Homo-oligomer: A and B are copies of this chain.
């Protein structure tokens, strides 16, 4: 099946709605995530104070929680924001950055994962750590391929009642029953910081534009993957690549999406 039209329709809806995406994310990812959201057509906001985080969820269309540079006060803000999103029926996405690297990080990721996220997006090591299988992640790097984590992702999705997206050379998105694979992207994306975090942010934006969270997540990963493929064509390195990826997100049209490779797995 060719998903090009459905991805394009989701992207058009996203641009029409220009969803306000509330991010509680790490310091490294803030700039590029905000720019990726703006480029794709969403409206980003970064808000973390306990004094306002629940109020801000109430005016947002989706919440993105990323534990990259976590600390106890920020984690408390993440908890409150997640609980408010669930209470209000708004989609929220968890990026368990570095789960498995330290006990604190793994425990925090698991605790947040239990708060009914709509989607969890991580690399194989992070998903395996969340699922309880492994330790020994090297921070944001994945020591495992995404193929290794598909079974764990399915089990985790079934147990938590959410969608799990495990990304890598091939991305897999599953709700425990159905699984989509996404084969877009470029290896240069691993040489720019926080593009995984930006992918998570785009998942948040697409959740505000499409009712099926499995497809919304796959569409987001396909769109940023295609942007990466376009950017790699004439980039000399990761510096110019990052800027061209943002350009490509902005210019993304139906024709460019012809290379979308989403499949039932």
Spell out A's residues near B (CB within 8 Å). Answer: 20, 22, 26-28, 30-32, 34-35, 38-39, 43-52, 55-56, 59, 68-73, 98, 101-105, 138-141, 190-194, 235-240, 242-251
User: A59 — which chain B residues lie within 8 A by C-beta?
Assistant: 101-102, 138-139
User: A190 — which chain B residues lie within 8 A by C-beta?
Assistant: 38
Alpha-carbon distance between A32 and B138 when the two chains are bound, in angstroms: 20
Output the nearest chain B residue to A18 by Cβ-Cβ distance.
B141
Output the nearest chain B residue to A247 by Cβ-Cβ distance.
B237
User: A238 — which chain B residues lie within 8 A by C-beta?
Assistant: 35, 38-39, 246-247, 250
Most chain B CB within a 10 A radius of its CB, from A39, A46, A56, A103? A46
Output the nearest chain B residue to A32 by Cβ-Cβ distance.
B31
* Cβ-defined contact, A45 with B140, below 8 A: yes
Alpha-carbon distance between A250 and B190 when the two chains are bound, in angstroms: 12
The 8 Å CB contact of A240, one of B46, B72, B192, B247, is B247
Alpha-carbon distance between A182 and B86 when the two chains are bound, in angstroms: 44
* New A-B pairs, 19, CB < 8 Å, besides A47-B139, A236-B247: A27-B27, A28-B46, A31-B31, A31-B193, A35-B192, A35-B239, A35-B242, A39-B191, A43-B138, A44-B139, A45-B101, A47-B98, A49-B69, A52-B105, A236-B244, A237-B250, A237-B251, A240-B243, A243-B243
The minimal Cβ–Cβ distance linking A100 to chain B, given in whole angstroms, is 10
User: A34 — which chain B residues lie within 8 A by C-beta?
Assistant: 28, 193-194
